[in-house]
Chains A and B, each alone.
Chain A
């Protein structure tokens, strides 16, 4: 009821103690196409759904390499994400110049969070409308962080943001306990399964998603389309379903069988995200 009175600028509190402009910025994140991240002790994987405005245009880039040991996936206002990626790259380069060592991920996300916080406390600014999943490696292993427009950041074992991310989160919640010990390839497979959850019946192909990995002995790199498609084919052909503990997999449409010749990919109907 009172929302509209107190949401004009970011420096106005509501009577309930909320900053609505910041909350609206977080809504922008939910509107972006899905991005998911997960990690084991030694590797971190980022994956995202590619959205193109039309068949004629190219996909928006949502995963950025920040340094050899850090990468970021974004959801929301991609322009804001691009600018923040540039800031992160700059910070990594400057730290490397001064200390001849890679910038620890934990430090970078704090700097990023502080930068976001500034925009929640200046009347002439607006919050960044982008959520960032920061995957990185440091001396203590692989890490995954989520930075949101409010200036908060959290560390996660696995997380999903963007539209229909709840479906992916449900899948990840079921499987996350096995992630710390997962191998690199299993981690990527789980990422692809999670992405498939957000597609809600749409066919999962490498043209619809992007996958990136960083790990011990492996610099951050975005997997090429052929590699991703091969991995998708692997589990589609074997008819592997997203391993479920309680839910029952339903037989999906037979369109997958038409090109693979194998068992049709089973899809689970997951609850819609808000």
Chain B
């Protein structure tokens, strides 16, 4: 049992296993074909339904691509009656093979009946409806053979009835027409009568209107005439007023001018005297200015004189052979020349201690230099950080050093000293001090005071020179 089942299963499985690839290919074609067929059918059904139902038609034509063209085309065909012809053809062809003659006739008769229904008579319509119902009923119950003759008879009678009705209608129409013509004639007469009376009335009215028009024209003319007169008189009066105003203004102007002329004359007379006063005032002012200028000049010259005096005294003191204090002169000068910037600046450079102690003269300095020179010589061989023994050694050995004289070159102590001596001999303190400044180490320390003193001397001398030039300048600038 199991084996058989297995075998059947296998055999059942085999065809399925062998045909999956074939099925795939086959399936695709069939699938596509069925899809296109179904969609075509759906499309055709939608078109047919849209012919019947307007709402569906709108939806369909709007949303589906190409639906509108198809539906319009189908409707055109319907209007042209292509479908009706096709239906007739089909039924004719069909009737040859199948028994449909009665039905076609019935169909035709039903169409003819529908013609009748187009007439407005409701009774005939009802009758035709009932006959159609009967026809349908017979068709539905396969009784066409039996009732066909009856139906044709009914049809003939219906036709007679309709003809009768048509005849009656035509008669009635003729009668109405005749009556209408009579009425027409009567009314035309009435209209003519009335027309005449209307013409007469119109003519009367025209005449009355013309009269009215003439009267109004005359009235307007009179009105205008009076207005014009009034306007003219008003303008004339205005003009008169203006002329009067103008006259008054001119009179006033002339009066004013006359008054002004008189005033000018009077002023001139007065100005004669005033001008004299003015002149005197001016002279006085110039005199004042002269006076002030004079006093200013005098003050300035006094100042310059004072400056010169002080300067001279200072120079005197500085030239003294020995140290003399000149602090008083400096103080006095400071007091006098607090306004003069240059002088006060120069005076401020001079130290008070210098002024109090006085400065050494050149001769004093030269003398002092001798001692300084000796000391420097003694310390000339001391090294940078020398102690007792180096000092002792230098003291001893300097005694055997050679002395130099005159303007010699070289940067050693002896040469410098010789040069300084030379400059001092020439009374050139400035260069001497500069030279001595070139010493180094212990010799410099020893010579420091001398250098400072010489510097003070030179500074004071320079200050005096500056003040001297300033004094000459101010002296010249006054004049």
**Pair from one complex:** no
Q: What residues make up the interface of A, taking CB atoms closer than 8 Å to B? A: none
